[in-house]
Structure 1
Amino acid sequence: MQGLHLTADCYDCRCAPGLLLDPAQLRQFVVEQTIRSSLTIVGEKFHPFQAADGSAAGVTCALLLAESHLAIHTWPERQAVTLDVYVCNFTEDNSAKASGLLDALIASFAPARWQTNRLQRGSGANDQTLALEQLTQHTAYGTQLAPPLVQVQSQFQRIEIANSAEFGKVMRLDGAFMTSERDEFFYHECLVHPTALSHPQPRRALIVGGGDGGSSEELLKHPSIEHITLCEIDPLVIRLAREHLRQIHRGALNDPRVQHVAEDGFAFVKQAARAANASQLYDLILLDLTDPQNANGSALAADCYGEEFLQACRALLNTGGALVMHLGSPFHHPQRFGQLRQRLGNIFTHVSPYTVYVPLYGALWGMAVASDTLDPRRLDSHAISARLEERALGVLQYYNENVHQALFALPNFVQNLGA
């Protein structure tokens, strides 16, 4: 009987009405998601209900799985859905498959609010939930989270903030880990400082994404920074980060040098590139984005990885300016890493890929600096040490003059991606 039992109660669902009313449409969707999660269907039943006047009134369905079962009940009159996924873990651990399936179902029913429960059957229980993110269809990484402090559906995405024993407060967007209090410096210091320290005196910066404030906080350590445009599409992310993630942004989201723009990054950059004059250009552009598409199907930032967008970013850079972005995991996402590296190389004269292990992501992560003039690999440890001393950046937990050179020392399998 050892296994994992997951339930979700979803309210004010904004999905297509057919998912709540039409058994054929619901069946097609549910079967597709179940197969995608690599669970095995061995039987099924979809039963539609009718109201007193003969109109459709909801659907109850059950899939019998070799691993156990999936049950769904729709309540169209309340725009509500209840979900029930149970998998046996006796011969192998199917937890990641079940969690991925539940996340995909919740995302597709698009509830304004929802409540989830997780029960470890046959091996005791506690109030902790093993939150898993699918790195690929076959691999997941996770950590135990306490009951959520925040669990809300914004206009754009699902936002969750919860406490973790190892990571402190953790933020997830659409089921994907974004940042945590205790490991954010791995990502934010390495996103910001290799580029910012390679620039002789960065004054103006644009951050696309970055609503948690971590990259803004690192940039503001550089005394020459006069202005940061923080283009975050979802203002609710910034509001919740202000309230719950102060250990990440450390007040940067309230700094007068940071201008918030609640706009789609693609639209903002394209419009700014068309209208830009010399006073509106940037020394640094940081693409602190969600993945182009995560394993749960969310693709909110996909346009910001395309060549058209990157060309517009180049047009917004001052002479000597640079762009930095993450490329995904070179091991788990080699195709994405290689394609983005090549795309940057088609646009910029110099592309400098590098890697850092990010604990919350459970993987080696790739980043790249792109510029027509600036190449961070040219600065040796003595030059970086001198700039660190000159700028007095304060406490850094990861980055130093020796780490700078080490970041750009790529293993052969990474060096060959997109080369």
Structure 2
Amino acid sequence: MKHPPALLAPLSADLALSICPDQPERCERSAYQEIRSGHSPSLGDYYRLDGDLMASTLDAFVIHETLAHIPALEHPSPRRALILGGGDGGSARELLRHRSIEHILIAELDPAVVAHVRQHLPHLPDGAFDDPRVELRYGDAARTLAALTSEPPTAAAFDLILFDLCAVDNPACAHLHTEDFFRACAAQLAPQGCLHVQLGSPFFHGPQIAATWRALNQVFPDCRPALISLPLYGGPWLLASAGPARPQPDLNPLNQLGQRLAQGLDAPHALRYYSPAVHQAARALPPYVLQHLTPYAPL
């Protein structure tokens, strides 16, 4: 069988990941963006937004498990979560493993993304959109967040806010990584709540990482980076949790994280990337990564 020509998904301004799908991609144009999905032997089913790879079924567990479980297991008992973006349902799927979770609000810009994933990549959400604890609100995430200020404070307080968005330099998301927006998020956090943000590739996105890290530290007294490895995004990928002052990471030893994992999650044995050891190891950063962060806040 002859494959379609190789497709290029950008990793940086001068570098791209080459994909050879085993069949032509599905394509649709929504009011906001071009949505494409396809299949390759190495990625499984994948989808792209305006050319950028968002997730694939064979490695999505890496970002969704770490994005959800690192902050959730550092929180005493997360009940309410806000996911900014999250249109493929993967982060919601992972948060729903936590027995303490009562409500997840997904603030997704584009209803066409959810519909496309439901039809063509149902393994990503794995039923998350149909869980009664999950609520979908469509539109710009900043407007969704602003609308929450008119709701009762107890209803608008979130234990976790996850940034499951496209790249920071994408015009649809750039305004969601500023100091002003982080302050708006802070106003919606419960007393022990935290944000978990994707900073980007420390190899390709150094200035972007530095700017976002600096903005986080202007708003939150406790910011903690974490480094994971994500094949779809080109390798090393940096995350950051941010919130009020919290116990230092060394107060969460491996056995404590393991105990919380075993007691607080459904089917913890099904996790494929996250583990207590990975949780702790992700906090150790090599010098080339630290150089993007330490000028703005000591670690």
TM-score, length basis structure 1: 0.67
5+ long unaligned stretches in structure 2: 295-299
SS of residue in 2 equivalent to 1:201: coil
- Please, which of 264, 272, 293 is the counterpart of residue 418 of structure 1? 293
Partner of 2:297: none
1:168 to 2:41 alignment: no
Change (3 A) 1:376 1:337: farther
**CA deviation vs aligned residue, 1:61-106 (integer Å, no higher than 9, x gap):** xxxxxxxxxxxxxxxxxxxxxxxxxxxxxxxxxxxxxxxxxxxxxx
Stretch moving more, 142-151 or 190-199: 142-151
CA contact (8 A) 1:194 1:376 kept: no
**CA deviation vs aligned residue, 1:186-234 (integer Å, no higher than 9, x gap):** 1111111010011111000000101000000000000010000001010
CA contact (8 A) 1:151 1:158 kept: yes
Supply the distance in 2 between the matched residues of 1:269 and 1:152 (Cα, whole angstroms): 28
Partner of 1:334: 206
Residue identity in the other structure for 1:398? Y
- Please, which of 258, 262, 266 is the counterpart of residue 389 of structure 1? 262
SS of residue in 2 equivalent to 1:129: coil
| C-alpha deviation, 1:180, in angstroms | 0.4
1:313 to 2:200 alignment: no
- Moved beyond 2 Å, runs of 4+: 125-129, 146-150, 273-276, 373-378
- Please, which of 254, 265, 290 is the counterpart of residue 166 of structure 2? 290
Supply the distance in 1 between the matched residues of 2:104 and 2:246 (Cα, whole angstroms): 20
Supply the distance in 2 between the matched residues of 1:291 and 1:273 (Cα, whole angstroms): 26
CA contact (8 A) 2:229 2:235 kept: yes
Partner of 2:273: 398
- Please, which of 224, 230, 238 is the counterpart of residue 358 of structure 1? 230
Residue identity in the other structure for 1:400? S
CA contact (8 A) 2:4 2:24 kept: no
Change (3 A) 1:276 1:409: farther
Partner of 1:18: none
| C-alpha deviation, 1:157, in angstroms | 0.5
Higher RCO (Cα < 8 Å, 6 or more apart)? 2
Supply the distance in 2 between the matched residues of 1:318 and 1:223 (Cα, whole angstroms): 18
| C-alpha deviation, 1:275, in angstroms | 4.7
1:367 to 2:242 alignment: no
**CA deviation vs aligned residue, 1:258-285 (integer Å, no higher than 9, x gap):** 1000111011112324655123210000
SS of residue in 1 equivalent to 2:6: strand
Percent of counterpart pairs with the same letter?
36
Supply the distance in 1 between the matched residues of 2:274 and 2:248 (Cα, whole angstroms): 14
Residue identity in the other structure for 1:397? R
Supply the distance in 2 between the matched residues of 1:234 and 1:221 (Cα, whole angstroms): 25
RMSD, aligned CA: 1.5
Partner of 2:71: 195
Supply the distance in 2 between the matched residues of 1:141 and 1:276 (Cα, whole angstroms): 46
Residue identity in the other structure for 2:172? L
5+ long unaligned stretches in structure 1: 1-124
Change (3 A) 1:274 1:331: farther
Q: How many residues align?
A: 291
Supply the distance in 2 between the matched residues of 1:375 and 1:328 (Cα, whole angstroms): 26
Residue identity in the other structure for 1:336? Q
Change (3 A) 1:393 1:407: farther
CA contact (8 A) 1:148 1:161 kept: no
Structure showing greater Rg: 1
SS of residue in 2 equivalent to 1:386: helix
CA contact (8 A) 1:352 1:376 kept: no
CA contact (8 A) 1:198 1:375 kept: no
Kindly report which structure 2 residues correspond to 1:216-235, keeping only aligned pairs within 5 A, or say none: 216-235=92-111
Residue identity in the other structure for 1:182? L
